[in-house]
Structure 1
Amino acid sequence: MKLLRYILICCLVSMACVGSAAQRRNKAYESYIHKYRKVAVDEMHRFRIPASITLAQGLLESGAGKSALARRSNNHFGIKCGGSWDGKTVRANDDAPNECFRAYDSPKDSYRDHSLFLSNGARYAFLFRLKITDYKGWARGLKKAGYATDPRYADRLINIIELYDLDNYDRKGGLKWVEEFPNPHQPYLANGMLYVIARRGDTFKSLSKELGISKKKLRTYNELPKDYQFRGGEVIYLEKKMKRATKDNIVYVVRAGDSMYSISQKFGIRLKNLYKLNKMDEDAPAPNVGDILRLR
């Protein structure tokens, strides 16, 4: 199941990796998530609003808690007064000048009112028929129901959720998993396959526990011996490598420090197939710098 979570997480990463570089995470956003994630999960358990949606809306509407509205009145979700609100208020410019917004004694009160606002609003009722893990449906539904006027509101929420792995919080035990692995390995794609970069101190046991893949499969997929010790920086595939590289990588010019194994990992090719493609015996000497190797 955890592998499936990594595949979902990788949706945004895969698009970014096709380009020049992946989007970078914002430290202010990460700090906000760490501060309010438990509140969002608690609200999810009580009101069945995905924690990922709550956190993404809080981040977007409050600028990670740094907007004037959030700082002055603890309003993290941009909720306006409306005809039924009889609590504290504050004035701010939005779609029109000097509009009335709700004010709260604490951010936690803002989170609770956000839950009540959605669960009691007739126009949002259809959202609660969605699965708690359907953050895309929720994001698009919020836009459809008119939560915000920004035409890209749903896309912005989805991008935030996927960039910061917020959907982890929507799953059973999600908060426990994130607390146990506060700095999880970032997934990437190569040759259409998922992989992570090993860190110094990693073991097959620790990676297996985090990624939800057996130690034996990790060793087999990456053609590594049982007693291998990670130095940090190794490419570790989460699924079986391919027999050849993609059409974009037909040949490769050997560089200093390359080995047949490192090349096989770089392009996601099984080592024996790399030897076979180049009509080399598996006990042949390492290729020389400048040699051209076939990858497909």
Structure 2
Amino acid sequence: MKRLAIVISVIGFILGLCETGKAMSKTDFLMQVESGAQQNWAHYGILPSVTGAQAILESGWGTSQLATNAHNLFGIKGANIDGATVRMPTREVVNGYSLSVWANFRAYPSFIESIADHGQFLSVNSRYHNVLGERDAWLAAQKLQSDGYATDPAYADELMQIIRANNLTRWDQGKSDIDQHPTAAAPNSAEMSDSANQPQQQDTLRRYVIQPGDSWWRISRASGISMGQISQVSQTPIRWWIYPGQWLWLPQMKDYTVQPGDTLHRIEKALQLPIDSLAKVNHRARQSHLTVGTKLELPAAV
């Protein structure tokens, strides 16, 4: 049944969504890609100009079969989180020869999911960690190539040609043709330690590191702070995806409400508390069972 659903999903992509890239002008395509690229900068520290250039190069301005049939801009292979996939031919450079091979690629409902998945793909693969937070487009492109992102030996040069031809570095400088885009530095960027890039009145805020299984709703329930307020102080729209390892800013709170799956260690890790601090403050054993809904007192200072 699951396999049938996946097949139907792919057919839907091919029959109902394939006109997206063909009907889109380059200006419209850039505006759509920039929005996602700025989100990836805010979440992962991946330079927007490089994301844009990769999307253009690898999707042919959103007109490739992979982009029009499956909204896959970056050629990420395998199955998406919901199992959606599409099988297509691709070219690979092997031992200096260009060969045509068949492969399975991820399928997405829209470009925004493809861009978000691209950011997560780079962030969770350790070999690309040297790209995260890199503010020089040429260095970021070179690092992607040297890390083995593409088999094309001219990949970095091609990215830079696209960046220069379309003046994509303006995205890296906060200059945009769209009305709304992030103006704050990336939460996970290399500049995070710079107080100029952190929320104002930082002494009244607490940093929350996102854990596996977290969601905006779960964090709001645990902290007792509305999702809107968390979004505002973190300068992160609620519509953006959040992933383990990122962080959000929370107004300082005195207690934490236990959620399903919580342990003292998990809470300490999320709120960056000293080891055993929760056990000590709440007069509990380190391995004690936590009842969902219980309020735990938090240390006054982190």
TM-score by length of 1: 0.47
TM-score by length of 2: 0.46
Structure label with greater radius of gyration: 1
